[in-house]
């Protein structure tokens, strides 16, 4: 079969030391991935991104595979990009929301997953408000499971697309200074990004109000501060995190206006970063809270690039988890 896409040798099944498949059948955490596997996903996503530039944005790679998207939390970017990724790979897709499932009638998450698995899907993409929900589902599950965000635990595909976006702009990670600013306590994106970016050699500073900094976060090899100016100084990447009011029980700061005054990112604050620094946000952004509109729409913002890259990364993850053999490669 012809391969007009410049697919990395590892995807073609070369015999070098770089893995051509993922060791685990599931993607639940960045911890599941070795550094080589992270790079394999990023390299594969480069080939997948090219498909999105074609007149016909579709390849037969996952034809005959069934993917179930099971979301119990609201989502725009993650859910839509997974669905687009599946369709571009020609998989059969079933979308299911928690609000329309039998869990409203008392069925447990595990029983829901087992009933879905009885219909022989190949991959289940799961988002749930409870940390560790995906680990519950995989016990005894023959389908491959992708964690699309579980509570405050992890969001591995978000970290992968963030790394992909950074690599497009910065080429390498070793010694890269990354400042992560915002609601650290409730962020699954933070946990996944720390693991991934540290594995690739980046230096990470995390910043937020003292009430929103997880106790003991320094043990993950990051520098924590409550000073935005300190965090942003000489940064190559400034990653902002959403203030997750829906997960807050109690008062963590006086008001959103005061939060923006002390921790909101503006063009003025970005002057402390390196001249070619980029601004990132996993979305949804709260303008005037985490970031000013001027900065979010500015030339240093790569927020929409992250959204676009989410499709390529999720195509790569589905492709690699599906265990596609040589005669079914991207074409």
Q: Tens digit of pLDDT for each residue in 239-267?
A: 999 998 877 777 888 899 999 999 999 99
CB 135 within 8 A of CB 115: no
Q: Give residue 7's pLDDT.
A: 45
3-state secondary structure of 67: strand
Q: What is the mean pLDDT of the chain?
A: 90
128: closest CA among 190, 77, 186, 70?
A: 70
CB 6 within 8 A of CB 47: yes
Q: Give residue 324's pLDDT.
A: 55
Q: Give residue 150's pLDDT.
A: 95
Q: Tens digit of pLDDT for each residue in 177-220?
A: 999 999 999 999 999 999 999 999 999 999 999 999 999 999 99
Q: Give residue 107's pLDDT.
A: 85
3-state secondary structure of 265: strand
Beta strands in 110-190 (DSSP E): 123-128, 144-150, 177-182
Q: Give residue 10's pLDDT.
A: 37
- Report, as ranges of residue numbers, the positions in the chain whose pLDDT lies below 70: 1-20, 98, 104, 324-331
Q: Give residue 330's pLDDT.
A: 55
Q: Give residue 14's pLDDT.
A: 34
Q: Give residue 17's pLDDT.
A: 43
Handedness of CA 275, 276, 277, 278 (dihedral sign): positive
Q: Give residue 147's pLDDT.
A: 97
Q: Give residue 19's pLDDT.
A: 59
Cα dihedral 77/80/82/85 (nearest 10): -120
């Amino acid at each position: 079969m012809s391969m007009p896409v410049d697919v990395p040798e590892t995807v073609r099944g070369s015999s070098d030391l770089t893995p051509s498949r993922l060791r685990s059948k599931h993607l639940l955490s960045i911890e599941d991935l070795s550094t080589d596997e992270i790079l394999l996903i990023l390299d594969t996503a480069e080939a997948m991104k090219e498909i999105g530039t074609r007149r016909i944005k579709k390849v037969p790679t996952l034809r005959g595979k069934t993917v179930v998207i099971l979301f119990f939390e609201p989502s725009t970017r993650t859910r839509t990009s997974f669905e687009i990724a599946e369709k571009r790979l020609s998989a059969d897709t079933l979308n299911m929301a928690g609000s329309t499932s039998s869990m409203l009638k008392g069925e447990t998450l595990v029983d829901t997953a087992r009933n879905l698995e009885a219909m022989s899907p190949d991959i289940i993409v799961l988002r749930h408000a409870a940390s560790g929900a995906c680990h519950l589902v995989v016990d005894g599950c023959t389908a491959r499971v992708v964690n699309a965000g579980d509570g405050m635990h992890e969001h591995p595909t978000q970290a992968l697309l963030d790394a992909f976006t950074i690599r497009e702009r910065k080429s390498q990670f070793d010694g890269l200074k990354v400042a992560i600013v915002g609601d650290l306590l409730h962020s699954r994106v933070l946990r996944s990004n720390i693991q991934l970016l540290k594995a690739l050699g980046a230096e990470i500073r995390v910043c937020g109000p003292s009430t929103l900094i997880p106790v003991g976060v320094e043990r993950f090899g990051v520098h924590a501060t409550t000073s935005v100016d300190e965090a942003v100084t000489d940064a190559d990447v400034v990653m902002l995190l959403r203030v997750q009011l829906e997960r807050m029980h109690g008062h963590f700061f006086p008001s959103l206006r005061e939060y923006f005054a002390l921790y909101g990112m503006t063009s003025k604050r970005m002057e402390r970063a390196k001249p070619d620094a980029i601004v990132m946000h996993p979305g949804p952004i709260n303008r005037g809270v985490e970031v000013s509109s001027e900065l979010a729409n500015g030339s240093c913002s790569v927020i929409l690039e992250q959204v676009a890259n989410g499709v390529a990364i999720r195509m790569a993850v589905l492709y690699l988890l599906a265990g596609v053999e040589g005669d079914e490669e991207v074409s």
